[in-house]
């Protein structure tokens, strides 16, 4: 897997430092208020699990599953596979946590849907932000890193379902994207 990597953009130690900083910002923003971290699966599971362990105030955890990419690197239609239950949403202060804010369509749609379902407040926290790619006007309330306009994998982010377990963020060698889709994993 490591042999498929072209360039490491954020190393493990850089990631730890970035998450420490975001965790402090989130802690400051929510001290004295109840809130629920809503991790957007699958991509944000690694980030969310590291992030919550650095937030030393009470919080609850919920999940939703959404996918906007097929097996390649181009955006497809947003599909929501499941939402938190009604009482995990209604009247709650939600912090939507996602792996990357790209065009913004995913978080824009999810924020809207959670508000419709009765959330008291919906803020957003992303591991990576690609501001140059934005198609809808949306800024994350918290973000760990800004990233250039490049398809990246690792630390939760996949290509064709793989590479989520890389401990750093990297781009892949050109030949990997060009190769035919791997078989079932």
What does the binding site for ligand 5GP look like in residue numbers (CB under 6 A)?
43, 68-69, 75, 98-106, 151-153, 157-159
Least spacing, CB of residue 69 vs Mg ion, in Å: 5
The residue (of 56 and 161) whose beta carbon lies closer to ligand 5GP is 161
| Residue in 2, 1, 4, 3 with CA at minimum distance from that of residue 172 | 4
The residue (of 43 and 154) whose beta carbon lies closer to Mg ion is 43
Q: Which residues 40-59 are close enough to bind Mg ion by CB under 5 A?
A: 43
Count the alpha carbons within 13 Å of 61 in the hemisphere toward its beta carbon: 12
Least spacing, CB of residue 36 vs ligand 5GP, in Å: 19
The helix/strand/coil state of 12 is helix
Compute φ and ψ for 53, nearest 5 degrees: -75, -10
Does the footprint of Mg ion cover residue 154 (CB under 5 A)?
no
| Residue in 125, 122, 146 with CA at minimum distance from that of residue 134 | 146
The residue (of 28 and 77) whose beta carbon lies closer to ligand 5GP is 77
| Residue 106 interacting partner from ligand 5GP, Mg ion, none (CB closer than 5 to 8 Å by kind) | ligand 5GP
The span from the CA of 108 to the CA of 123, in Å, is 11
Least spacing, CB of residue 85 vs ligand 5GP, in Å: 22
| Cβ 88 vs Cβ 37: under 8 Å | no
Compute φ and ψ for 167, nearest 5 degrees: -80, 0
| Residue 98 interacting partner from Mg ion, ligand 5GP, none (CB closer than 5 to 8 Å by kind) | ligand 5GP
Query: Which residues are tagged catalytic?
Result: 102
Least spacing, CB of residue 1 vs Mg ion, in Å: 18
The residue (of 27 and 141) whose beta carbon lies closer to ligand 5GP is 141
List Cα–Cα distances, 153 to 20, 33, 141, in angstroms.
21, 34, 23
């Amino acid at each position: 897997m490591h042999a498929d990597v072209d360039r490491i953009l954020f190393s493990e130690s850089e990631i730890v430092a970035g998450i420490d900083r975001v965790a402090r910002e989130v802690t400051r923003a929510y001290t004295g208020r109840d809130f629920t971290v809503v991790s957007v699966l699958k991509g944000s599971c690694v980030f969310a699990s590291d992030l919550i362990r650095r937030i030393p105030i009470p919080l609850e955890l919920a999940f939703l599953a959404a996918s906007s990419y097929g097996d390649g690197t181009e955006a497809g239609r947003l599909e929501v596979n499941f939402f938190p239950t009604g009482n995990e949403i209604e009247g709650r202060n939600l912090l939507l946590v996602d792996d990357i804010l790209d065009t913004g369509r995913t978080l824009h749609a999810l924020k809207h849907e959670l508000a419709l379902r009765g959330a008291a407040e919906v803020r957003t926290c992303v591991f990576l932000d690609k501001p140059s790619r934005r198609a809808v006007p949306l800024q994350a309330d918290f973000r760990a890193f800004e990233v250039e306009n490049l398809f990246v994998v690792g630390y939760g982010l996949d290509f064709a379902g793989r590479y989520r377990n890389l401990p750093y963020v990297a781009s892949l060698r050109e030949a990997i994207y060009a190769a035919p889709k791997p078989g079932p994993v």
